[in-house]
Amino acid sequence: MYARVALTLLASVIIQEALRGRDRPASAAVTRKGAAVGAPTVRLRRLAAELRQLRKLAELTREQVNEQTGINVATLYRIETARVRPQARTLTSLLDAYRVAEPKRSELRTLLKQSATRGWLHTFASDLPERYASYIEFESEAREVLNYECLFIPGLLQTERYARAAISGSDPELAREEVENRVEARMRRQAALAKVEPLRLWAIMDEAAIRRVVGGREVMREQLDHLLRTAELPTVQLQMIPFDAGAHPGMTGSFVVMTFGEAAGPDIVYVDSQAGDLFLEEEADIARYNLVFTHLRAGALSPSASASLIAAVADDLRPG
């Protein structure tokens, strides 16, 4: 028992330290030079990863690149970490220094041109908040998502009626049109679970997320039935943390860890709170949240026991 308490306290401290990390500028922050990126697009991250790899293959340090091209070392670092979108002539100078030939040169030029767009969101819902649009794009390109939710059903698993009630209820100031835009965006996000190479989702929820009746009993029952069906997908793992588990490190807030292929850049942690949302890309932050998720997973019910709990709550909502 003492070991479990110690692990819980350790994980709680870790997640609180990670949350305090919001005082540090995340690598997705606005840049001082070049095109400002409130949060970089997946294409910009991919371009940054490609350029970083090409420099290493050329066996050049940033200082040596500076000597050859005149590009400031700090600027090169920001380009390689997707904090700034390079100008076309800067990209050409780098490709020359790295001795990159066709067709790779053309591929990277195209990637630069595309790096300012946000996929299907660009024409679908341009009035979505920038950070939310960035989140959706990252999610659409992720290979795996680890999602802990303390109050709501994960967005990738929500029904349309639940999503509408959750969005409008949590932000009463939103106009109806804005609510509908976000509902539609949330529904389209779920296509990631049905791709040829589907997103792998591991979702952990506090029991409060399925006990709170959002949208009324019928809507909530429909939502829980949908959870049970989705949990049968081979790429979806669903676990519950029951009330009788007591205090746990996830009580400090919901978060998401997204994992990408090597070419798309490093992992990302997303933290959502009343104080605002936050993207974290520092290795230390990612390690902290991965550790917290590991502790939550160990303390949660098994997938089969979790399904039984969800089914029991759904039965309580059935009429008669």
Domain boundaries, the chain: 2-27+125-316, 42-114
Please state the separation of Cα 75 from the chain's center in Å. Answer: 26
Burial class (CB in 10 A: 0-12, 13-18, 19+), 275: exposed
Query: 34-69: b or e for each residue (b if 16 or more CB lie within 10 Å)?
Result: eeebebbbbbbbbbbbbbbebbeeeebebeebbeee
pLDDT at residue 262, rounded to an integer: 64
Q: Can 2-27+125-316 and 42-114 be said to share one CATH topology?
A: no
CATH topology for the 2-27+125-316 domain: Endonuclease; Chain A (3.30.870)
pTM of the entire structure? Answer: 0.74
Q: Dihedral (C-alpha) 300, 303, 255, 156: value to the nearest 10 degrees?
A: -160
Is the CB of residue 112 less than 8 Å from the CB of residue 41? no
Q: Is the peptide bond before 242 cis (omega within 30 degrees of 0)?
A: no
* Angle at CA of residue 117, ends 115 and 119, nearest 5°: 110
Q: How far apart are CA 285 and CA 18, in angstroms?
A: 6
CATH number listed for the domain at residues 42-114: 1.10.260.40
pLDDT at residue 121, rounded to an integer: 59
The long-range contacts involving 163-171, CB below 8 angstroms and separated by at least 24 positions, are 163/187, 164/215, 165/214, 165/215, 165/216, 165/219, 166/214, 166/215, 169/214, 169/215
pLDDT at residue 236, rounded to an integer: 98
Q: How far is CA 255 from CA 56, 64, 74, in A?
A: 33, 40, 31
pLDDT one digit per residue (tens) for the chain, 320 residues:
434 434 444 444 444 444 333 333 333 333 333 444 455 677 788 888 889 989 999 999 999 999 999 999 999 999 998 889 999 999 999 999 999 999 999 989 988 987 776 565 555 555 677 778 888 888 988 999 999 999 999 999 999 999 999 999 999 999 999 999 999 999 999 999 998 999 999 999 999 999 999 999 999 999 999 999 999 999 999 999 999 999 999 999 999 999 987 655 678 899 986 666 788 878 899 999 999 999 999 999 999 999 999 999 999 999 97
